[in-house]
Chain A
Amino acid sequence: MSFTPNRRRPLAPAAALAAAAALLLAGCSGGIAGGDEGGDGDASGPIKLGMLAPFSGSESAFGDYMKNGAQMAVDEINEDGGVDGRELELVVEDDACDATASVAAANKLVAAGVEASVGGYCSGATLPVLPIFDEAGVPMVIPAANSNALVEAGLDTVFLINGTGTQQAQATLEYALKVGATRVAVLNDNTDYSKDLADSFVEQAEEEGTIEIVLDQSVTPGEKDYSANVKNVIGSTPDFVVWTGYYQEGALITRQLIDAGYAGPILVGDGSVDKKFAEIAGAGYTENVVGTFTQTPDMLKGAEEWIASYEEAFGEAPGPYSTQSYDAVRVVAEAMKNAGSTETDAVVEGLRGLDGFPVFSGPLTFTDEGTLSSGGFAIVSISEDGTFVLKDDLQD
């Protein structure tokens, strides 16, 4: 930085600008001077429910399933006269499964004046928006994201209606014990959700004591060749293998495991429960594969009617998280009805006060942490045509 002493800086433009800015401010009441920072919607129009879901990016397939499920609940409630005479309105934004995009989208929802949030699919994109919603007084009922980090954030406005990793791990352990496993190898794909689930399972298994964890490893996601990991699994001579990651890698690992000579059962987490799993693994490789999954409409008794009306409304079958999103809206509406208001504290109290509210995964009561008091995971297996069907609902 060098200054030539004989030069004067022109101050005229700066002064003119400052004057112009001052004028601008004086004539404007939309900004902070007018005290407007978004926030609460008015108490007479429709009640807006915000939903962040991925409509672009790698997980974009799930956005529509979630949106449609929620929309269906909104329509049904509005037909019944809404909540306290006010209609519900769903406001959807794309979070692209990306932190920066989700922060912008959450702020957009807050600016739109949503009273509650019923979205959240990717844990990594949901974590950064918790403080935003919390600060704006927007209670969150999260239908899909279920990382334990969401619970650890310790906000009393956050409620998870998808079973957490802890609960899924419980179901996994229950099934492993049921089939008499003694030596279990656990593999995760190093993503947030998957690692969470694996750690939970290992912890519970060690606590339980009858099962020996012979291997607990991460693999690199997005690869094709897992021979090195498979070799390690075979080397640990397990009689039960747990895969907690997504289907892209899970199917390849399953195939390579069986090629390498493993013949025992393989249990996959709900991220692998997808039609593509069987296609990628190939015919003859899925007989011993089971999965843990929250019950989907086609597994539930008496859900045919719901599926039919969903298909009628949206022209396609419901998918993963359609039911959870549908339930999220109903849960929020119920809490608002009980509270008789849309004020933050009242709604949170209403959510805490729910006792045995009937949802797809069974009667719902929230724990103090805002998670489900009972899991709702079932064991599914792969049928002839590659779809997952209910094998064991673990209800005994």
Chain B
Amino acid sequence: MGFFTDDLFQLVWNGLFVGSFYALVALGYSMVYGIIKLLNFAHGDIYMLGAFIAFVLLGSTIGLIGEASLPVLLLVLLITMILTGGIGMFVERVAYRPLRGSPRLAVLITAVGVSFALEYGIRQIFGPSPEVFPFRLSGGSFDVLGGRVSVTQIVLMVIAALLMWVLQLYVMRSREGRAMRAIALDPQASLLMGVNVNRVISRTFFIGSALAGAAGVMAGAYYGSIDFLMGFTIGLKAFTAAVIGGIGNLYGAMLGGLVLGLLESFGTFVLGGEWRDVFTFACLILFLSIRPTGILGARVAERM
């Protein structure tokens, strides 16, 4: 086990790369939870929808202009983000809003239902076997400190970092962001102060889903195959990342994603690939037992 030699950089890099995907998906989990205390179980499936929407869009674009390039992919990424954001809003409006104020159990069960409907709806349309993404990012790669880094990975991580930075600015600097933070603190008081709570919640769903959709497109372009269950595991992992970072906390979600990526990378190296998910969920249970508020989470009252 000499991973403090040439393996170290590779392990760290792999962990950060996978972690940035986790972080993007975890943000949506965390924001929604922070505002209405809802675990949107279907969030991982929005990631999957993003991949499939981009698959269709790219397919038709390539049919029209015959060639795809990075600018085209970025345009598709934007359109997909808007569409998945819209789907997220729609899901909230149809499935979650009627249940606001219901017991938490009812909302959770509904979320499981939404997740199922999305997964198996896509399955009915595209079939059970994986689809091949029509556009693949490929570029050179170079050696750094005994590890391999590809240009594609750098591009995707830069996109992810940009998205997170913009989100951070939006939440911290804009009026709407302030409204979000206010509702997270005290929905009743915000309502009395004239904040349109419903609209802000819708917007939160839009942003969270758009980020998950973006992660889905990037995964499709990098890995090349997409299937209807691809959101299930990453949804779980993103939740784990959100918990590790401190759920409801923006920076926590980003940090948690990267930490989980690193944990998995090193855990797999030590334990072997078949134990990776066991290791991840064991981390989740451990965190919840020892520090349920996560690394950055503030201490909150248990029940409200």
Contacts A276-B132, A282-B224 known; A222 to B229 CB distance under 8 Å?
Answer: yes
Contact yes or no, B277 A220, CB < 8 A: yes
Scan A256-271; emit 1 where CB is below 8 A from any B CB, else 0. 0001110000000000
Contact yes or no, B277 A228, CB < 8 A: no
In the complex, A125→B144 CA distance in Å?
A: 48
In the complex, A190→B274 CA distance in Å?
A: 7
Contacts A228-B265, A260-B148 known; A248 to B273 CB distance under 8 Å?
Answer: no
Contacts A58-B128, A231-B11 known; A251 to B272 CB distance under 8 Å?
Answer: no
Identify which of B18, B225, B265, B272 contacts A218 (C-beta below 8 A).
Answer: B272
Contact yes or no, A217 B223, CB < 8 A: no
In the complex, A191→B17 CA distance in Å?
A: 27
Task: Indicate whether B136 reaches chain A with its CB closer than 8 angstroms.
Answer: yes
Scan A188-231; emit 1 where CB is below 8 A from any B CB, else 0. 00100000000000000000000000000111101111111101
Task: Indicate whether B276 reaches chain A with its CB closer than 8 angstroms.
Answer: yes
Whole-angstrom distance from the CB of A189 to the nearest CB of chain B?
Answer: 9
Contact yes or no, A259 B274, CB < 8 A: no
Chain B residue numbers with a CB within 8 Å of A228 are 14, 264-265, 268-269, 273, 276
Whole-angstrom distance from the CB of A303 to the nearest CB of chain B?
Answer: 26
Chain A residue numbers with a CB within 8 Å of B136 are 282
Residue of B nearest to A219 (CB): B273
Task: Indicate whether B45 reaches chain A with its CB closer than 8 angstroms.
Answer: no
Contact yes or no, B128 A248, CB < 8 A: no
Residue of B nearest to A223 (CB): B233
Task: Indicate whether A383 reaches chain B with its CB closer than 8 angstroms.
Answer: no
In the complex, A229→B269 CA distance in Å?
A: 8
Chain B residue numbers with a CB within 8 Å of A229 are 268, 273
Question: Across the A-B interface, how many residue pairs have beta carbons closer than 8 Å?
Answer: 78
Q: Is the interface of B mostly helix, strand, loop or mixed?
A: helix
In the complex, A259→B141 CA distance in Å?
A: 8
Contacts A248-B225, A282-B136 known; A218 to B233 CB distance under 8 Å?
Answer: no
Contacts A57-B128, A217-B272, A224-B230 known; A252 to B224 CB distance under 8 Å?
Answer: yes
Whole-angstrom distance from the CB of A242 to the nearest CB of chain B?
Answer: 15
Task: Indicate whether B201 reaches chain A with its CB closer than 8 angstroms.
Answer: no
Chain A residue numbers with a CB within 8 Å of B17 are 227
Task: Indicate whether A330 reaches chain B with its CB closer than 8 angstroms.
Answer: no
Interface hub of A218, A224, A255 (most chain B Cβ within 10 A)? A224
Task: Indicate whether B190 reaches chain A with its CB closer than 8 angstroms.
Answer: no
In the complex, A228→B10 CA distance in Å?
A: 9
Chain A residue numbers with a CB within 8 Å of B10 are 231
Interface hub of A219, A228, A252 (most chain B Cβ within 10 A)? A228
In the complex, A190→B148 CA distance in Å?
A: 27
Chain A residue numbers with a CB within 8 Å of B277 are 220
Residue of A nearest to B17 (CB): A227
In the complex, A276→B131 CA distance in Å?
A: 9
Task: Indicate whether B227 reaches chain A with its CB closer than 8 angstroms.
Answer: yes
Whole-angstrom distance from the CB of A319 to the nearest CB of chain B?
Answer: 13
In the complex, A255→B136 CA distance in Å?
A: 11
Identify which of A61, A220, A259 contacts B129 (C-beta below 8 A).
Answer: A61
Task: Indicate whether A232 reaches chain B with its CB closer than 8 angstroms.
Answer: yes
Interface hub of B17, B128, B264 (most chain A Cβ within 10 A)? B128
In the complex, A219→B277 CA distance in Å?
A: 11
In the complex, A60→B124 CA distance in Å?
A: 13
Identify which of B138, B150, B225 contacts A252 (C-beta below 8 A).
Answer: B225
Task: Indicate whether A235 reaches chain B with its CB closer than 8 angstroms.
Answer: yes
Contact yes or no, B227 A248, CB < 8 A: yes
Residue of B nearest to A195 (CB): B274
Contact yes or no, B269 A231, CB < 8 A: yes
Contacts A228-B264, A231-B14 known; A222 to B233 CB distance under 8 Å?
Answer: yes
In the complex, A235→B2 CA distance in Å?
A: 11
Chain A residue numbers with a CB within 8 Å of B268 are 228-229
Contacts A223-B233, A251-B225 known; A279 to B272 CB distance under 8 Å?
Answer: no
Task: Indicate whether B49 reaches chain A with its CB closer than 8 angstroms.
Answer: no
Contact yes or no, B18 A225, CB < 8 A: yes
Contacts A61-B129, A276-B129, A280-B225 known; A224 to B219 CB distance under 8 Å?
Answer: yes
Task: Indicate whether B121 reaches chain A with its CB closer than 8 angstroms.
Answer: no
Contacts A219-B273, A228-B276, A231-B7 known; A280 to B130 CB distance under 8 Å?
Answer: yes
Scan B215-253; emit 1 where CB is below 8 A from any A CB, else 0. 000010001110101100100000000000000000000
Residue of A nearest to B219 (CB): A224
Interface hub of A218, A260, A280 (most chain B Cβ within 10 A)? A280
Give me 13 other A-B pairs in contact (C-beta within 8 A), A220-B277, A228-B269, A259-B150 excluded: A218-B274, A219-B274, A220-B273, A220-B274, A222-B227, A224-B223, A227-B14, A227-B265, A231-B10, A232-B269, A251-B224, A261-B141, A276-B129
16 contacts between A and B (CB under 8 A): A57-B128, A60-B128, A217-B274, A218-B274, A219-B273, A223-B233, A228-B265, A228-B268, A229-B268, A231-B10, A232-B273, A251-B225, A252-B225, A255-B224, A259-B150, A276-B132
The 9 lowest CB-CB distance pairs between A and B, nearest first, are A228-B268, A218-B274, A224-B223, A279-B132, A227-B14, A280-B225, A229-B273, A219-B273, A58-B128
